[in-house]
Amino acid sequence: MKKAGLIELNAVAVVAETRNFRAAARDLGMSASAVSHAISALENRLGVRLFNRTTRSVSLTEAGERFLEKISPALKDIAGAMEGATAAAASPRGRLKINTSPGGMTGLLMPILVEFQRRYPEVHVDVASEGRLVDIVEKGFDIGVRLHEDVPQDMIAIALTGQERFLVLGAPGYFERYGRPSVPTDLARYPCLRLRLPSGAIYRWEFERHGQESRIEVEGPMTLQDMDLMLEAAIAGVGLAYMTQRQAAAALSAGLLEAVLDDCTPPFPGLCMYFSGRRHLPPPVRAFIDVAREMTRKV
């Protein structure tokens, strides 16, 4: 037997309540003939009459009363679920999971998170900051924040920054002691801070000059995996650091760090937030996208 649809079951409940096909049709947003046809089709499939009909009245049969008694709790549960979904769309709540690189947090993501939390206090934000690139859908994340070049092609990406730029940075005292490199190959004679990648490999500093690209494997007194530690060590004069201008913006403005080899570090596409192309985004995701767009337009 073909299963009854929600429209037919709702028709039974509303006709039983109004005891009038035309009034029920208005409540359901259907024509009276469509309501009558839906109930007749259901009666034919069930093999039982649910309503007694005359030209002046409509009433439930005994079988109809028993049937309505059985379906009413389920219809109320469905209506409650639909109302709950609508309310959630109007006021985001629940959990928002974000995956980002450690560099994505520095000077960019946290101000957006703070403003988002202020506007939507019923959303719990769960941020995982890690160097390795993960499949955000497989790992259960709603949004990723990475460099544009790392965003998978099947994701929708929205730029959070303009172009980024890596810089070679050192403290004023460091340059007084060691001098300044003029070209990337000079770095072999300078103490540098090495960066360990999530894979365990040591990052080779990337340069481009006169259209020629090069990668330099630096040496120095420290190997670090945390960019905040890298920044502290550079400010302390331990060695030269290689990081983005945004990550070091405060230290540069305060005169704690200075940049060298500027003409060898061209800009590149910056950070994006990205998410899967689902048609109906969860309300917290949609709200976060709107806040991020609004705040990054002001930068």
- 264-275 pLDDT per residue, tens: 988 878 888 898
Q: What's the pLDDT at 139?
A: 87
Domain 6-90 class, CATH top level: mainly alpha
Domain 166-264 part of CATH 3.30.365.10:
no
Q: What's the pLDDT at 87?
A: 57
pLDDT surpasses 70 at 23:
yes
Q: Report residue 281 CA to chain centroid gap.
A: 9
Tokens for 91, please give them. Answer: 């006021």
pLDDT surpasses 60 at 298:
no
Q: What's the pLDDT at 198?
A: 79
Most confident by average pLDDT, 5-14, 138-147, 183-192, 261-270: 183-192
Domains 6-90 and 166-264 alike in fold: no
Strands of the chain, DSSP E? 51-53, 58-60, 94-100, 123-129, 143-147, 156-159, 166-170, 193-195, 205-209, 212-216, 222-224, 241-244, 258-260, 271-275
CA-to-CA dists, residue 262 to 34, 258, 265, angstroms: 74, 10, 6
pLDDT surpasses 60 at 299:
no
**Helix axes of 110-119 and 283-297: crossing angle, nearest 10 degrees:** 120
Please report, rounded to a whole number, the percentage of residues in the chain having pLDDT higher than 90.
Answer: 35
- Give residue 176's identity as a one-letter amino acid code: E
- 225-234 pLDDT per residue, tens: 888 899 999 9
Query: Domain ranges in the chain?
Result: 6-90, 94-162+270-297, 166-264
Residue 282: closest CA among 155, 141, 152 = 141
Strands of 106-221, DSSP E? 123-129, 143-147, 156-159, 166-170, 193-195, 205-209, 212-216
CA-to-CA dists, residue 123 to 58, 116, 118, 278, angstroms: 49, 9, 10, 20
> d(Cα 84, Cα 62) in Å, to the nearest integer?
34
> d(Cα 181, Cα 260) in Å, to the nearest integer?
7
> Which is the CATH superfamily of the domain at 94-162+270-297?
Periplasmic binding protein-like II (3.40.190.10)
Long-range contacts of 31-37 (CB under 8 A, 24+ apart): 35/11
